[in-house]
Structure 1
Amino acid sequence: MSEYGATVAWHLKPGASFDYEHFNREHEWTFAGGEVVQASASPDYFGSGNRVSPDEAVIAATSSCHMLTFLSVAAKQGLKVLSYIDQPVGTVEKAADGQMAITRIVLRPRVVFDDGQEPDTAALDKLHATAHRNCFVANSLKAEIRIEPQ
């Protein structure tokens, strides 16, 4: 078992208003290694567009987990990956229960293998399916997660 944590901190600035449409959504996430992420609600919810939103973080974490699991599976199979680039897209909308949720995440990984190691489409799909099945972030989400290799 592993446990992970962070400090999420927000403070009302002196003299600032605190009503729904005007309170400042900017805050910080601080991780054990000292990394600080400047975060905010998305602009759709009165946040700042130049900071990471929780929605973006979930989508990025899903992609990152899939990538790291994919790389592990490939390495165990003796395949040398030269690069892996993904541009995931998530959709926030009303779910079947009427609650707002991230309902779908589409991963679009582009993987480059060492010369002569490029798997065929079926083998690549199997690598992604294995990575998806073993990604604990994906296993923790209700959202539909699709993988569309590029």
Structure 2
Amino acid sequence: MSKHTAAIHWQNHGPDFLKRQYSREHAWHFDGGAVVSASPSPHIVPAPWSNAASVDPEEAFVASVASCHMLWFLHVAINAGFLAESYDDNAEGVMTKNERGLLWISQITLRPHIIWGGAKIPTADEIAHLHHLAHEQCFIANSIKTDVQVQPRD
């Protein structure tokens, strides 16, 4: 078993907290020393109380799913003897309301584009199988109820 941590820091900077006039900008601190500027999405909390240049939790969630899938995809591709030269993904999450009327990220679509090298290039069916194996192994995908779709780009 492993443990994963993140420290979140927010400080009140605003004219009137009790009137909801305060910045929601904060920082994510990770054990390796990385610090990420975070803020709610301006779609949820308008400026000046949010910062579109920062990462919002919804973007981070989509990136987490995409990153986990990529890491497992590369692992299963190696196991199958395929040489991946690059992997790019334009992942997208869609927020909808659930049966109780609450917003949630109901679907994430991964749109990976892989450049292959070497003599052994996978077929479309083999690539689909690799994505299936990666999805089955992804820790994040195994932890969520969000529907994750994979639509490879040529």
Offset at residue 76 of structure 1 (A): 1.3
Offset at residue 16 of structure 1 (A): 2.6
Q: How does 1:47-126 map to 2 (within 5 A)?
A: 47-126=50-129
Unaligned 5+ residue runs, structure 1? none
Corresponding residue pairs, total: 149
Identity of counterpart residues, as a percentage? 38
Q: What TM-score do you get using the length of structure 2 for normalisation?
A: 0.92
Q: What TM-score do you get using the length of structure 1 for normalisation?
A: 0.94
Offset at residue 117 of structure 1 (A): 2.4
**1:69-91 C-alpha deviation (Å, 9 max, x unpaired):** 00000111111100000010001
**1:92-112 C-alpha deviation (Å, 9 max, x unpaired):** 120233221000000000011
1:131 corresponds to 2:134: yes
- Give the letter for the 1:58 counterpart: F
Judge which range, 123-132 or 97-106, deviates more. Answer: 97-106
Match of 1:142 in 2: 145
Query: Do 1:40 and 1:52's aligned partners in 2 also have CA atoms closer than 8 Å?
Result: yes
Report the aligned-residue RMSD.
1.3
Name the CA distance, whole Å, in 2 between partners of 1:136 and 1:52: 22
SS of equivalent residue, structure 1 residue 16: coil
Unaligned 5+ residue runs, structure 2? none
